[in-house]
A and B are shown apart, each in its own frame.
Chain A
């Protein structure tokens, strides 16, 4: 029957393409989350990587994945404005939490790489490099060497120490704890942004963020 022949051809072609794609890119993720069990008190202690005054009236939390294009746009067009306009003036404390999504094979390693740079006090510089070159390393089979190479381009990073850190399991637990915290807060996509504990329904652009920050500053001033 031609009908079943057509069905069979569609099924075979589709499954063949799927199998090919899985064999081509379903390779080794260099590292994966570790097994971590946390109670609510422990979750409350989870630390992101922050910039800005601890007592700033506006606290912006971002849950992000270095391999996510939306996070890349946020890092290129919104983060610099937050840092230049509000963090430097003491209005905002900006905290970056890792939330590597399982669909991105290099995201967990990238989060660890960010932490390895943070160990040397260069997180934000390395953060900008990783997002800036996202399209280069995202499609690679193994991004480890690229991440080590990028560390050389960040002034002040000891590449040897960075390599040693990245090639170990260091910070795997911290990244996993960040993920657990995100899950506990209902984060299921990236980037997810919270302003003073309120989760934003969508990713804000610079103008929306400006309005939201002004509202929070106004609310903080009114309660004083």
Chain B
């Protein structure tokens, strides 16, 4: 006869580390893009940048994409990544490979866009916004973490 303890399946599998990393990095990215969005909308006054390049970048015509501030697009992307990563940390979704692929797709789009923005800073605007550079580094790390996560879930697949 089975006891109650035998009947209850306790999941001792550790939560996927890559998704936890993605969630923390996405939260940091979200805060940075929130900062830049608030600055762009005029709520912050002087931006803390050090080099002054942030203002040059943020006041240029390239600070908008499809009529919206680029930082606002960043907020959207990081919020999506944060939500997806949090959803995939525990429970049945922890090993959901499709969720990992969705995260990787969003991260890929964002990393390509970020590379384009970095190119604009280097070659067209000729000024560096340190917050944008930090954001580019964060999204690159998220991309690699997402790649690692997809490989992990592929190895888990029966």
Q: CB within 8 Å of B: which of A11-57?
A: 11, 14-15, 18, 21-22, 24-27, 29
Q: CB within 8 Å of B: which of A178-222?
A: 187-190, 192, 202
Contact A103 B89 (CB under 8 A): no
Cα-based distance from A177 to B67 in the complex (angstroms): 21
Cα-based distance from A24 to B43 in the complex (angstroms): 11
Contact A21 B48 (CB under 8 A): yes
Contact A101 B59 (CB under 8 A): yes
Q: Which of A18, A25, A187, A188 contacts B45 (CB 8 A)?
A: A25
Cα-based distance from A188 to B65 in the complex (angstroms): 11
Contact segment of A64-72, A111-119, A150-158, A161-169: A64-72
Residue of A nearest to B30 (CB): A14
Residue of A nearest to B43 (CB): A26
Chain A residues with a Cβ closer than 8 Å to the other chain, count: 33
Residue of A nearest to B36 (CB): A103
Residue of B nearest to A18 (CB): B35
Contact A103 B44 (CB under 8 A): yes
Q: Which of B23, B24, B40, B59 contacts A190 (CB 8 A)?
A: B59
Q: Which residues of B contact A70 (CB under 8 A)?
A: 55-56, 59-60, 127
Q: Which residues of A contact B28 (CB under 8 A)?
A: 10, 14
Cα-based distance from A22 to B42 in the complex (angstroms): 10
Cα-based distance from A71 to B39 in the complex (angstroms): 18
Contact A18 B38 (CB under 8 A): yes
Contact A22 B59 (CB under 8 A): no
Cα-based distance from A139 to B44 in the complex (angstroms): 12
Cα-based distance from A11 to B15 in the complex (angstroms): 21
Contact A26 B44 (CB under 8 A): yes
Contact B63 A189 (CB under 8 A): yes
Task: Tell me if B31 is interfacial: C-beta within 8 Å of chain A.
Answer: yes
Contact A103 B24 (CB under 8 A): no
Task: Tell me if A102 is interfacial: C-beta within 8 Å of chain B.
Answer: yes
Nearest-Cβ distance from residue A139 to partner chain B, whole angstroms: 5
| Residue of B43, B59, B89, B125 ringed by the most chain A CB atoms within 10 A | B59
Q: Which residues of A contact B67 (CB under 8 A)?
A: 188
Residue of B nearest to A105 (CB): B45
Nearest-Cβ distance from residue A31 to partner chain B, whole angstroms: 13
Q: Which residues of B contact A3 (CB under 8 A)?
A: 15, 20, 23-24, 89
Contact B46 A7 (CB under 8 A): no
Cα-based distance from A14 to B39 in the complex (angstroms): 15
- Closest A-B pairs by Cβ, 6 of them: A25-B45, A102-B42, A14-B31, A189-B61, A68-B59, A189-B60
Q: Apart from A15-B31, A18-B31, A29-B42, list 6 A-B contacts with CB within 8 A.
A: A14-B27, A18-B38, A69-B55, A101-B59, A187-B61, A189-B59
| 6 residue pairs from A and B, CB less than 8 Å apart | A6-B24, A68-B56, A69-B56, A103-B44, A103-B58, A189-B63
* Interface residues, chain A, with chain B CB atoms under 8 Å away: 3, 6-7, 10-11, 14-15, 18, 21-22, 24-27, 29, 65, 68-71, 101-105, 138-139, 187-190, 192, 202
* Interface residues, chain B, with chain A CB atoms under 8 Å away: 15, 20, 23-24, 27-28, 31, 34-35, 38-48, 52, 55-56, 58-64, 67, 89, 124-125, 127
